[in-house]
Amino acid sequence: MDFKIFTLQNGLRVVHVPRMGTGTVALSMCGDVGSIHEKENETGAAHFLEHVVLEGTQKFPSPEKSTNRIAEVGGRRGATTDNTTTEYRTSVLKEDSERGLEFLSQVLIHPLIPQESVERNKKIILQEIRQVLANPRRKSMETLVELLYQNHRLGVSVAGTPEHIEKMDRGIIVEFWKKHYRPERFVLSVCGDIDETKLLKLTQKYFGDWKNGAKEPGAVVSPGRQDGTSVATKLGGEPGQTVLAVGHYGYTADDQKKYAAFLLSKILGEGEMSRLFMSMRIGTAHAYYTSAASRSSKYHGMFFITTAVAAERTDEVLHSIGRELHRAASEAPSASEISRVKKRLAAMDLFNMESTVNTAFYYSKLFTEQPNSGGYTEELVKFQTVSAKDIQNVAKEIFSQKPKVAVVGQSLTRNDIDIRSLEL
């Protein structure tokens, strides 16, 4: 997949993925700014900032004018914040590409952050937090992350806590924006029907004068690892139903072992041919859904398995998961399993990359987390060269750790959960 990357004098990296003839342009601006960068008194600020910058800028000073700037030409806009990054996106017709770039520059460089927007979004974000806590799957993952990263910013919910949101004020948000929204920490990815000459001219026009803030953001403290097994139970979900999340530490984005860990997660828990699906749904019918995933970021990595089961089957399901963990660590996957997950990975990537929106996001996220990556083709080659032994070795390394287990249900307590079967 052809792309070019260039850097403005202020440090902003720009990725161009041409798709001439599509008639559309997708823009994704991703930054090395997330909840991990917050101080205690700033808890929730990264996510809060993402909300309010979209509600008014110097050129588009109201929520209506900001929204309409893209909507009136049939375009779309959006944003998301996680532990380590924040991303803003627009997609427009090719004749409106300048409008899309201007809009992103206004949001990142010239937000107003008015007090009335702060007060309004306090109510909105409190509802968002309650919605997450009402979803047992989301609640189990929030709890698992807390277990893995106790006493670290990664262990705090991205949205913050109700207590912190109630105390949030404009000064905290503006200060966070001044420290962290810096051009050298962002990647602008542009995919679609726009030529390189035009893109270079427009990015220089709208982002060339973006300057670093007066204050340095400070270094991120690397998360440590919590020794020992940890279990947490939380109330939630339907009566008689238990949601489980089993987690281990994984690999950061620049660790070559992440490729094998990712494929291991696919073998264990993605799709109807995965081991956990065959064991726990087809074999015993204990679970409607089960999945495994490996996530890697610039600052941390985690490997986790999630499932939902009848409460009385919890121990049996934990034993089923434990058997698969032991199997993955004790024997290499078969050639057919590896071939299947590699082909599925390549196919799903290609299906996703048919979309200019997905492609723009892929590259902005990739170069934010891995500045020295060679791009999609190089990443795919690294996955394809992973061996069966590589996968077994990372399984041994990951599952030799003491597991962390989050349980969300109505009736189980810590003493009801026996997780010895998960330990190698």
Q: What is the pLDDT of residues 63-81, one digit of tens each?
A: 999 999 999 999 999 999 9
CA distance 380 to 374: 10
Q: Would you state the pLDDT for residue 364?
A: 98
Q: Residue 49: which of 154, 180, 207 has the closest Cα?
A: 180
Residue with tokens 């990263």: 149
Q: Would you state the pLDDT for residue 215?
A: 64
Q: Would you state the pLDDT for residue 417?
A: 83
CB–CB of 413/397 below 8 Å?
no
Boundaries of every domain in the chain: 4-207, 230-422
Q: What is the pLDDT of residues 21-65, one digit of tens each?
A: 999 999 999 999 999 999 999 999 999 999 999 999 999 999 999
Q: Would you state the pLDDT for residue 395?
A: 98
The superfamily in CATH containing domain 230-422 is Metalloenzyme, LuxS/M16 peptidase-like (3.30.830.10)
Percent of the chain residues topping a pLDDT of 90: 82
CA 51 vs CA 45, 105, 225: distances in Å = 10, 16, 32
CA distance 42 to 170: 11
CB–CB of 345/337 below 8 Å?
no
The CB-based long-range contact list for 37-42 (8 Å cut-off, 24+ gap) reads 37/153, 37/180, 37/217, 37/220, 38/153, 38/156, 38/176, 41/172, 42/172, 42/175, 42/176
CA 37 vs CA 18, 116, 170, 300, 344: distances in Å = 33, 25, 18, 13, 35
Q: Residue 330: which of 247, 268, 393 has the closest Cα?
A: 393
Q: What pTM, to 2 d.p., does this model score?
A: 0.94
- Check if 4-207 and 230-422 are the same fold: yes
Residue with tokens 């009136």: 72
3-state secondary structure of 248: strand
Q: Would you state the pLDDT for residue 214?
A: 60
Q: 237: burial class by Cβ within 10 Å (0-12, 13-18, 19+)?
A: buried
Map 62-119 to HEC letters: CHHHHHHHHHCCCCEEEEEECCCCEEEEEEEEHHHHHHHHHHHHHHHHCECCCHHHHH
Is CATH 3.40.50.280 the right assignment for the domain spanning 4-207?
no
3-state secondary structure of 198: helix
Q: Which residues pair with 17 in a beta bridge?
A: 191
Specify whether the backbone of 282 is left (phi greater than 0), alpha (psi in -120 to 50) or beta: alpha
Tell how strand 13-18 and strand 186-192 pair up.
parallel
Q: What is the pLDDT of residues 99-144, one digit of tens each?
A: 999 999 999 999 999 999 999 999 999 999 999 889 999 999 999 9
CA distance 359 to 73: 22
Q: Which residues pair with 162 in a beta bridge?
A: none
CA distance 112 to 177: 11
Residue with tokens 């004018």: 65
Which residues of the chain are modeled with pLDDT < 50?
none
